Amino acid sequence: MKFTVATYGTEGDTRPLAALCRALMDAGHETRLLADGATLHSAHALGVPCSPLSGDIKEALMPGASLGEIVGKHTGVQATAKALAAIANANTAAWMREVKTAADGSDAIIVSALASFVGLSVAEHLRIPAIGASMIPITPTREFASPFLQPGIVPGFLHRMSHTFVNGMIWRAFRRATNAARVEVCSLAPRTRNWTDHPILYGVSRTLLPQPADWPAHAMVCGQWAAPVDDDREWSPPEALSTFLQAGEPPIYVGFGSMAGFDRERLLPALIEAIGGRRALFYPGWSGNDASRLPPNFHVVGETSHAWLFPRVALVVHHGGSGTTHSATRAGKPSVVVPFAGDQCFWADRLHRLGVAAPAVDGNAPTAAAFASAIDFGLLSTAQARAEQLGAAMREEDGLRAAVAAIERLAAAGQELRSVGICPVNAHA
């Protein structure tokens, strides 16, 4: 079968889908991944056919830009929805054309992140199944509140309603541009309400987030979507990194991925003071941090395979994105989490509840004392043992195999519906 996979977001959004595409290809299927051009490194490394979508997510995350303005400022969900929509709405028509062209002849479209509404519309136009893919649990449940809300502020009896409220707010922010493109590009009628009944697969570990008991049958927690170390085909450690790792005890890893709009002038000095003379690895990512300010016990790294590197460190300091959260835990390592925006506070809270991280460090007001306390917690033997336990459980999961089986089943069911004249996207509406 042929699958078109469309996403738009940071590297953390694209990397799991590149791994999913590789798994589909290894199962004998044809895939093409569409995402922001700056996030396609993993697709190239895995040999996944891919194409860039219009736009520049990296520019949008820079200080002063739409997403950069909400990073580290503890803005509410409405501001976050508007910032995300500003990026998508500026590119919706272009994305719809690009996805429509790529998906011609496909058996299904797998949709994710900011490209979800575009992909759902194109699938409706082509009368093929649309399958959601997410690393953030957005299906309503009573077990926890929307991940886009601060943990603990929503009483239990409102958990399910909070998902519906946030999902509706996001749809309203995207609706006008989505409907305009539906009419212009796909000759479809405008939609008045959000999609809620299409199947959605979560590339999330059941060790970190067990399948909620009240989720419908079309929502499934598969397990993490991560390429095995030996499948990260074009990456091998630079000699300088190997030498550093062999020269002493396992270092502390520090990296904030695609986050760029945070207060670099306060955060980095606080971290340096808290780490003290310990050995550390620092990944600048998209942050723009000046690596020349780092003391000699810090070794700067570029793009690395988390699956290869994290088992070789003592502790992972990160922003709480779903991908890094999963990779650190899968490697059996505790975390120090500095959430800045979106669902990052949700994952920070999950790690704290599981005993592998101290309470999150406030990225809006970072202090050396807060970092030192969180680092000391992560280096405790109890936290290390708990992380090893969780990592062993995660490594037993095969999220990619579960996802491939589900996608094959859903695509086959869609073919049956089409054969009797039913549009798969609207089958459950």
Closest CA to 297 of 272, 321, 319: 272
> Does domain 2-224+397-426 sit in CATH 3.60.15.10?
no
pLDDT confidence tier of residue 307, bands split at 50, 70 and 90: confident
pLDDT at 122: 98
377 Cβ neighbours under 8 A, 6+ residues apart? 334, 357, 358, 383
399: left (phi over 0), alpha (psi -120 to 50) or beta: alpha
pLDDT mean over 383-412: 96
Q: Is 191 helix (H, G, I), strand (E, B) or coil?
A: coil
pLDDT digits (tens, 9 = 90+) for 135-190: 999 999 999 999 999 999 999 999 999 999 999 999 999 999 999 999 999 999 99
| CA atoms of 248 and 225, how far apart (whole Å) | 32
pLDDT digits (tens, 9 = 90+) for 30-65: 999 999 998 998 899 899 999 999 988 777 665 554
pLDDT mean over 273-285: 90
Phi, psi of 333 (to 5 degrees): -120, 140
pLDDT mean over 317-342: 92
Domain 231-396 homologous superfamily, CATH: Glycogen Phosphorylase B; (3.40.50.2000)
pLDDT above 90: residue 382: yes
Q: What is the pTM of this model?
A: 0.89
Distance set, CA 85 to CA 82, 114, 373, 397 (Å): 5, 8, 37, 34
pLDDT above 70: residue 27: yes
Would you say the CATH fold of 231-396 matches that of 2-224+397-426? Answer: yes
pLDDT above 50: residue 230: no
pLDDT above 90: residue 264: no
Find the helix or strand (DSSP H, E) in which 88 lies. helix 77-103
pLDDT above 60: residue 231: no
pLDDT at 77: 65
User: Within a 10 A sphere around the Cβ of 126, how many other Cβ atoms?
Assistant: 23
- Could you state, in order of their start, the residue ranges of all structural domains in the chain? 2-224+397-426, 231-396
pLDDT digits (tens, 9 = 90+) for 50-103: 999 998 877 766 555 445 454 445 556 666 667 777 878 889 999 999 999 999
pLDDT at 421: 62
pLDDT at 351: 97
pLDDT at 236: 76
pLDDT at 363: 81
pLDDT at 147: 95
pLDDT confidence tier of residue 258, bands split at 50, 70 and 90: low
pLDDT above 60: residue 288: no
pLDDT at 178: 96
Mean pLDDT for the chain overall: 88
pLDDT at 96: 97
Chain centroid to Cα 398, Å, comes to: 18
Least confident window among 4-13, 208-217, 260-269: 260-269
| CA atoms of 268 and 96, how far apart (whole Å) | 40
